[in-house]
């Protein structure tokens, strides 16, 4: 089974240095969680709205990430310094496929 965590957010227009310090650290830390598969994210440069999608093998892996001390610290800063708003959805992935144009 695969689970996805969808994190939607809107960044504030301040605290960029502190944000990227924590973001870069957490980008590497999440990869150490047993059950982590992959993640990717994008942010619109003008509206500052973004989305990050993370794939995990188990709900326990998601819980381990949620309860990680450094992640908790970053979440606290997110509410006070980094984001105007954010939302999180956790879904069970039912099907996945892709198409790639051949050259």
- pLDDT value of residue 15: 77
- Alpha helices per DSSP H over the chain: 16-29, 59-66, 69-77
Contact 100, 21 (CB under 8 A): no
Q: Is 44 left (phi over 0), alpha (psi -120 to 50) or beta?
A: beta
The model's confidence at residue 25, banded by pLDDT at 50, 70 and 90, is very high
pLDDT in tens, 27-62: 999 999 999 999 999 999 999 999 999 999 999 999
| C-beta pairs of 47-50 under 8 Å, 24+ apart in sequence | 47/10, 48/10, 48/11, 48/12, 48/13, 48/84, 49/8, 49/9, 49/10, 50/8, 50/9, 50/10, 50/11
């Amino acid at each position: 089974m695969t689970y996805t965590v969808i994190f939607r957010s809107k960044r504030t227009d301040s605290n960029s240095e502190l944000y990227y310090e924590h973001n870069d650290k957490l980008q590497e830390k999440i990869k150490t969680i047993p059950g982590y598969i992959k993640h990717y994210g994008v942010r619109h440069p003008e509206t500052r709205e973004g989305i990050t999608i993370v794939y995990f093998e188990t709900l326990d892996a998601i819980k381990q990430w949620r309860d990680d001390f450094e992640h908790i610290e970053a979440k606290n800063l997110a509410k006070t310094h980094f984001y105007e708003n954010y939302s999180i959805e956790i879904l069970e992935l039912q099907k996945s496929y892709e198409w790639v144009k051949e050259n």
